[in-house]
Amino acid sequence: MPTVPFKTVRGRKVRVGVLGAGAWAKFAHIPGFKRDDRCELVAIADPLIEKAQEFAAEFNIPNVYGSHEELIARADIDLIDVCTPSATHTELSWAALKAGKHVLCEKPVAYDYKETLRAAAFARAQGLKTKLGFTFRYSPAMQYMKALIDQGYVGKPFIFNGYEQNSQWLDPQNPLRQVDHTADQSVIQVSSLEGYGAPIMDLGHLFMGSRFEQVVGTMKNFIPDRVVRATGKMMRMNIDDGDIFIGEFASGAIGSIQTSFVTVGNYPGLEARVYGSEGALICRLVEENGVAETLKGAKADQVEFRDIAIPQEFYPPGGSARESWRSLFYANLVSSFITEILSDGPENEGNFEDGAHVQELINAVEQSFRERRWISIPLEA
């Protein structure tokens, strides 16, 4: 099969269209694009056109649309940023890819991992690049941790421990968002496992250089009644607000992951640990005392963990450890994607294929819980 050249942008800036005018677009996506002088924000669209107009005025975006289709139809846009509610991600990502655009999409692309794999294959065949909103793999500390692992700091990786949790919904009066309040509440529904778990699963795959191939896990509903944003009412919500699974990687390593949004702690609430034959690394992305990330390391001959300074080269221009984690991490994500789009090569990390493998892992853990047994990956078609 002939190799399809990647669609690159030569001699000009990457032209970007943003779909969605919500809080995450305002505090992470749009500031990330504004920070990179290799790209240009051309248009924004939202069905609530007043919100899109507000963002356009605030961020100096020249074109505003009340429908996503109008924006995607523009021939002069290179990159579509899908920053809309989860239920729309599949349709909008496909529309953008079929229009010949590179696509950045918040997670998940689709709840069925096979659909995400199909989109990834289509993008490759068209010479397009994709990226998932795996924000935390782009924190300066996580980027440096990956570099240290690649340099052999831990030796051969043996064990991965991952946590993504904070107390965002410990208070049942804090309205739940992006949940299906019409689902059958006699059966526990996936929530934290997918909404919170995806980024730490992605980091597990990234740091261990391997994917989980066997998992067993459990999900739990600790707070049964909650206010739901869609209705504004207190409702029975049988969702997993806490979960844990363990597993074996294809490489022979082992790992555990815990996610929850009823565990006391601050945003963003993520921790990744890697233990190996030569040393260990612990990275925490938790906003404490004005600092959102820390990295510690220990070696076999120096077992006490010590702080590791993060080199400035891992920060975006003007970035520092005291910047908001939202803009800090996402600036690196945007920079990564713009670099990949401008490249002549196949470079493309954190793409739709990586997202599909994470979604398959989520599906496997859910199946393990429901069937009360170990599940092998890849899943059967």
Q: Domain containing 210 — which CATH number?
A: 3.30.360.10
Q: At what angle do helices 140-150 and 197-208 cross, to 10 degrees?
A: 30
User: Is pTM, for the whole model, over 0.75?
Assistant: yes
Going by C-alpha positions, the residue among 175, 182, 173, 165 that lies closest to residue 240 is 165
Alpha-carbon distance 377 to 262, whole Å? 29
Choosing from 268, 291, 314, the residue where a domain stops is: 314
Alpha-carbon distance 67 to 377, whole Å? 39
For residue 74, what are the domain limits? 14-134
In this structure, are 129 and 208 located in the same domain? no
In this structure, are 263 and 171 located in the same domain? yes
* Residue 335 backbone dihedrals phi, psi, to 5 degrees: -60, -40
In this structure, are 67 and 143 located in the same domain? no
pLDDT of residue 1: 38
Residue 274: strand pairing partners = 160, 281
Structure tokens at 307: 């702080």
Alpha-carbon distance 29 to 105, whole Å? 11
pLDDT tens string 172-195: 999 998 888 999 999 999 999 999
Choosing from 66, 101, 134, the residue where a domain stops is: 134
| Domain presence at residue 64 | yes
pLDDT of residue 11: 74
| Domain presence at residue 260 | yes
CB atoms < 10 A from the CB of 264, how many?
Answer: 10
Structure tokens at 371: 């069937």
CA-atom Rg of the chain in angstroms: 21
In this structure, are 300 and 153 located in the same domain? yes
| Domain presence at residue 337 | no
Helix, strand counts (H, E) of the chain: 11, 17
254, 245 in Cβ contact below 8 A? no
350, 137 in Cβ contact below 8 A? yes
In this structure, are 192 and 293 located in the same domain? yes
pLDDT of residue 2: 44
In this structure, are 147 and 45 located in the same domain? no
| Domain presence at residue 83 | yes
Structure tokens at 218: 């459990």
pLDDT of residue 280: 98
Residue 216 to residues 222, 258, 364, 365, 370: CA-CA distances in angstroms? 20, 12, 8, 6, 10
In this structure, are 211 and 273 located in the same domain? yes
332, 114 in Cβ contact below 8 A? no
Residue 177 to residues 81, 86, 191, 356: CA-CA distances in angstroms? 21, 11, 10, 23
CB atoms < 10 A from the CB of 154, how many?
Answer: 24
143, 285 in Cβ contact below 8 A? no
pLDDT tens string 38-82: 999 999 999 999 999 999 999 999 999 999 999 999 999 999 999
Ranges in the chain, pLDDT < 70: 1-5, 381
In this structure, are 18 and 89 located in the same domain? yes
266, 288 in Cβ contact below 8 A? yes
| Domain presence at residue 63 | yes
Alpha-carbon distance 147 to 158, whole Å? 17
Q: Domain containing 86 — which CATH number?
A: 3.40.50.720
**Which helix or strand (DSSP H or E) is residue 339 part of?**
helix 325-342
22, 144 in Cβ contact below 8 A? no
In this structure, are 145 and 230 located in the same domain? yes
Structure tokens at 27: 């505090």
pLDDT of residue 179: 86
In this structure, are 248 and 301 located in the same domain? yes
Total count of domains within the chain: 2
Residue type at 192 in one-letter notation: S
Alpha-carbon distance 220 to 36, whole Å? 42
Structure tokens at 176: 């739940």
pLDDT of residue 3: 53
339, 36 in Cβ contact below 8 A? no
In this structure, are 183 and 121 located in the same domain? no
In this structure, are 246 and 275 located in the same domain? yes
